[in-house]
């Protein structure tokens, strides 16, 4: 009826059949037929359409049973038609006739949508806890534009940027770094959709990220929270922000070139963050500056910046007190590195230490004003959780871009957090022996499939796949290694034994 009313209004405005067909997305023959109908004719048409579907009344209970068994899910008319055909053979009408009957059932209330998804108020997150990221695209006079939006969940402070091509993993990492620099820090958690630039797969909460994104997350030290597939409502803050960018920025603008578009977007972003948020009733910019910005963690130096310079990193030995010597002063690193080696760089008045295997930043200090100073960070000695995080990042970096390895290590991290370092040491030793990649892949798949989440489970699974594990040689007592170590043994001739037997025999005869 709504379509009919819209069509008749267009007819009264003098629009042609073709124009109305294009405007309403209907076939021209249908538009022409309705042009000739008055309201009474149209109502009789609807009644005839409903009657046409009554041929399926004999299957009414069966159809309603299908809807009951699949409550809360979409049930398509084609699937119901195929089901009925499979169970009853030739049917009394076509698929379109069934579709009309299903529409009549829904209009009569026999089939309803049910209560739908249950919602509840979301608790207000602490400042600095979470950011959400999402992507959009919009047609412009320059062609299709791809844009990203990052929103801090508490203050609703937004960051957005645009580009002229689809996003790659490197693009996403670059935009996230820009967003963190824009915010002046990094939140504890990033909420993301199941986007292939970041997430390879998600299985019951076990996330497998792309190789570069895995390294980026480990480098910056934030956590990931992935939405379920086809569930955009779980990140509604950034979904609304994407719609806001589309409607408030792109819908009314044309651009001279792409540089002008990006300049206009930056200017608009400043104004958008200064408007009152309908959700918080606060100005995002003011709320961010006053409360959220101080709660963000500092942004770490990134290996993903094109201008990153690693030539200035020099190896340094770590002493038993977890200190490295730089220009006459000593600086602390996590106690995990005691007796080992780290890479050290001096830049912009800061001394930074990096893990030699993964390249991740593990410590940063302001450079001492003079030689002989000892600069320490108490967290390097007391924060065992931070040390474990470093161990985990280093372990993940041993097999980058391997989703099964990431899922297995994350499982150990979740289940055996207290003993994670012991697990990691066993796995590090196993990887140092350079196991066969194909057999290791099958062993990881077996462990994940069977729910085996212990480091020794992986070693056993690898051995079961025919892999050879390095076995420790059993210690041999030193006394048994050479003949010289054995005590000397006196040897006698056979005559001596015969004489002893004869003497014993004569002694026995005398007693008798």
Digit-coded pLDDT (tens) for 211-235? 788 888 888 888 887 765 544 444 4
Specify which residues 224 forms β-bridges with. Answer: 190
Given the structure tokens 């379509």, which residue do they identify?
Answer: 3
Q: How much is the average pLDDT of 70-96?
A: 82
pLDDT tops 50 at residue 482? no
Reported as half-sphere exposure (CB side, CA atoms, 13 A), residue 74 has a value of: 2
Q: How does pLDDT run across 245-286, given as a tens digit for each residue?
A: 888 888 778 888 888 899 899 888 888 888 888 777 888 888
Among the residue ranges 30-34, 441-445, 467-471, the one predicted with the least confidence is 467-471
Reduced to 3 states (helix: H, G, I; strand: E, B; else coil), residue 316 is strand
Among 112-116, 268-272, 384-388, name the one with the lowest average pLDDT: 112-116
Please measure the distance between the N-terminal and C-terminal CA atoms of the chain and give it in whole angstroms.
136
User: 373, 365 in Cβ contact below 8 A?
Assistant: no
68 Cα distance to chain centroid: 35
Give which of 89, 122, 93 is closest to 237, Cα–Cα.
122
Q: Where are the domains of the chain?
A: 2-108, 130-295, 314-386, 398-464
Residue 134 has pLDDT above 70, yes or no: yes
Q: E strands of 142-205, at which residues? A: 143-152, 158-163, 189-192, 199-203
Neighbouring CB atoms inside 10 A of 395's CB total 25
341-347 vs 314-317, strand pairing mode: antiparallel
Tell me, what's the pLDDT at 235? 47
Bigger pLDDT: 375 vs 496: 375
Query: Who contacts 438 (Cβ-Cβ below 8 Å, separation ≥6)?
Result: none
Class of domain 130-295: alpha beta
Contact residues for 471 (Cβ-Cβ < 8 A; gap 6+): none
pLDDT tens digit sequence for 155-194: 989 999 999 988 888 888 889 999 998 898 899 998 887 6
Best CA proximity match to 58, nearest among 96, 109, 107, 97: 97
| Longest CA pairwise span in the chain (Å) | 152
pTM of the model: 0.44
- What is the share, in percent, of the chain residues with pLDDT greater than 90? 15
437-456 burial: b if 16+ Cβ within 10 Å, else e:
eebbbbbbebbbeeebbbbe
Number of Cβ within 10 Å of residue 236's Cβ equals 12
For 486, counting Cβ atoms within 10 Å of its Cβ (0-12 exposed, 13-18 middle, 19+ buried), the class is exposed
> How far, in Å, are 50, 365, 441, 453 from residue 444 at the CA level?
58, 39, 5, 10
Least confidently predicted of 7-11, 393-397, 399-403, 472-476: 472-476
Lowest-confidence pick of 139-143, 202-206, 386-390, 427-431: 202-206
Q: 176, exposed or middle or buried, with CB in 10 Å at 0-12, 13-18, 19+?
A: buried
């Amino acid at each position: 009826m709504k379509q009919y009313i819209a069509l008749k209004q267009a007819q009264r405005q003098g629009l042609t059949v073709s124009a109305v067909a294009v405007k309403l997305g209907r076939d021209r023959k249908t538009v022409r037929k309705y042009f000739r109908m008055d309201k009474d004719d149209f109502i009789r048409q609807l009644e005839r359409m409903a009657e046409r579907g009554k041929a399926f009344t004999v299957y009414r209970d069966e159809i309603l049973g299908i809807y009951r068994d699949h409550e809360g899910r979409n049930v398509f008319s084609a699937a119901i038609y195929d089901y009925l055909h499979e169970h009853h053979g030739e049917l009394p009408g076509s698929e379109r006739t069934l579709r009309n009957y299903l529409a009549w059932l829904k209009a009569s209330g026999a089939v309803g949508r049910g209560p739908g998804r249950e919602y509840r108020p979301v608790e207000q997150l602490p400042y600095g806890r979470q950011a959400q990221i999402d992507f959009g695209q919009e047609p412009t006079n320059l062609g299709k534009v791809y844009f990203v939006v990052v929103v801090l969940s508490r203050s609703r402070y937004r960051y957005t940027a645009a580009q002229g091509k689809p996003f790659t993993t490197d693009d996403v990492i670059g935009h996230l770094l820009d967003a963190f620099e824009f915010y002046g820090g990094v939140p504890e958690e990033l909420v993301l959709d199941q986007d292939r630039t970041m997430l390879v797969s998600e299985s019951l909460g076990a996330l497998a990220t792309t190789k570069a994104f895995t390294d980026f997350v480990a480098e910056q030290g934030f956590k990931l929270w992935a939405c379920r597939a086809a569930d955009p409502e779980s990140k509604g803050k950034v979904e609304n922000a994407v719609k806001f960018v589309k409607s408030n920025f792109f819908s009314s603008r044309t651009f001279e070139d792409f540089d002008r578009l990006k300049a206009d977007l930056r200017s608009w972003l400043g104004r958008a963050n200064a408007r009152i948020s309908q959700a918080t009733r606060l100005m995002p910019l003011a709320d961010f500056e006053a409360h959220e910005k101080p709660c963000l963690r500092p942004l770490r130096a990134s290996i993903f910046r094109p201008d990153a310079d690693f030539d200035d990193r020099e190896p340094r030995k770590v002493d038993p007190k977890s200190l490295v010597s730089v220009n006459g002063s000593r600086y602390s690193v996590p106690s995990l590195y005691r007796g080992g080696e780290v890479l050290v760089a001096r830049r912009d008045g800061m001394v930074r230490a990096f893990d030699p295997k993964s390249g991740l930043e593990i410590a940063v200090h302001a450079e001492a004003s003079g030689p002989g100073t000892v600069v320490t960070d108490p967290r390097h000695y007391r924060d065992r959780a931070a040390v474990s995080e470093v161990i985990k990042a280093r372990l993940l970096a041993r097999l980058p871009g391997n989703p099964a390895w990431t899922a297995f290590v994350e499982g150990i991290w979740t289940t055996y957090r207290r003993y994670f370092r012991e697990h990691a040491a066993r796995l590090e030793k196993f990887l140092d022996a350079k196991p066969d990649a194909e057999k290791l892949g099958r062993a990881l798949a077996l462990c994940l499939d069977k729910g085996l989440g212990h480091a020794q489970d992986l070693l056993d699974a690898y051995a079961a796949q025919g892999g050879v594990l390095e076995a420790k040689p059993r210690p041999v007592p030193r006394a048994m290694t050479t003949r010289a170590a054995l005590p000397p043994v006196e040897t006698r001739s056979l005559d001596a034994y015969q004489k002893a037997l004869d003497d014993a025999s004569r002694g026995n005869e005398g007693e008798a």
